[in-house]
Amino acid sequence: MRPPHGFVVLGDGSRVRVENTAKLRSTVLAIADQIREHRREIGREIPVRQPAAKCRACGQRPNCGQARG
């Protein structure tokens, strides 16, 4: 049996009671699916097309597989 409510602890440490409804469960599960999908994509390289001068000045250049110039 599912509990009728639960608690969420906020950043300031306060606790907020939330009702355990089917709609809330559906929303939470949908968000969890989105998080899982993004985690699967975390290693995918984001294509960039920066001018070479911008790449030379970038502090992340040593970590970048797409650095130009």
Confidence (pTM): 0.54
- Provide the pLDDT confidence category of residue 3 given band limits of 50, 70 and 90: very high
Check residue 66 and give left, alpha or beta (phi > 0: left; psi -120 to 50: alpha).
alpha
Residue with tokens 């998080």: 35
Find the farthest-apart pair of alpha carbons in the chain and give their distance in angstroms, rounded.
Answer: 62
pLDDT at 56: 85
Instruction: Please give the Cα distance from 49 to 42 (Å, whole number).
Output: 20
- Tens of pLDDT, residue by residue over 22-69, are 999 999 999 999 999 999 988 887 788 888 888 888 898 888 878 776
